[in-house]
Amino acid sequence: MKILIIEDNRKLGQFVRKGLEEQAYAALLVESLAAAREAYHADEFDVVILDLSLPDGDGLEFLKELRTGDSAASVIILSARGNVEDRISGLNLGADDYLSKPFSFAELLARVRSLTRRHERNRKSVLDHGGVRMDLVTREVTCGGTKIELTQREYALLEYLLQNAGRVVTRTQISEAIWDCHFDMETNLIDVYIRKLRAKLKSDGDESSPIRTARGVGYSLG
């Protein structure tokens, strides 16, 4: 698993590189577009973490080159601009994810992990994990064999957790996916929904919940 980090702020770049290396990823840091092109031609990478404001140009240029060059690498845009316009144009150009600065490392890690598994996700019509089963066609949800009723939001949230089963999804990821909010909603809405979901998924006499909390980061199913 090789990651190319393109970030002109050396401190930030090194921090991200070290953090990823501690998580057993192989990471290379470059600080300009020119160095990025060179590194990319010399080696193959699975994930590219791309800052947009670089000393020798716009990171989106490099993204364009990657996508026209038929590269299979996943791209996470890292941007201080953080406006919706940039996000949309980045995603339209073929970026897989977009993370606004400032971010926490857990957020970045969760997104890198999501990317590395995104390719494995197949389009199943039934999601099944840890006793929770969701039929995407009939919209029927069962937990431990018992049918449970969910509101629209609860259903969407559980579906998102099931699709990312086995890894942490951050609150920001959830609010982007379910509420289409790209900024902090400034509410504990997600935690409340998780609590409701947990209550509904709780099977009789079993105190443990299939939804786990990753403290300060987000949640994971299973």
Nearest CA-CA partner of 58 in 79, 28, 82:
79
> Closest approach of Cβ 79 to another protein, in Å?
8
Neighbours of 195 (CB within 10 A): 13
Residue with the two structure tokens 């990171």: 59
**Per CB under 8 A, does 185 bind another protein?**
yes
How far apart CA 205 and CA 109 sit, in angstroms, is: 35
Shorter beta-carbon distance to another protein: residue 22 or 128: 22
Q: Which stretch binds another protein (CB under 8 A): 61-69, 111-119, 128-136, 191-199?
A: 191-199
Neighbours of 110 (CB within 10 A): 23
How far apart CA 68 and CA 17 sit, in angstroms, is: 27
**Per CB under 8 A, does 184 bind another protein?**
yes
Mask: binding to another protein, 97-136, rule CB under 8 A, as x and -? ---xxxxxxx------------------------------
- Binding residues for another protein restricted to 6-35, rule: CB under 8 A: 9, 11-12, 15-16, 19
Kindly list the strands in the beta sheet with 146-148, ordered across the sheet, starting from the edge strand earlier in the chain. Answer: 126-129, 132-135, 140-143, 146-148
Q: Which stretch binds another protein (CB under 8 A): 28-36, 37-45, 83-91, 130-138?
A: 83-91
- Residues forming contacts to another protein in the complex (CB under 8 A) are 9, 11-12, 15-16, 19, 53, 80-85, 88, 100-106, 151-153, 179-189, 192-193, 196
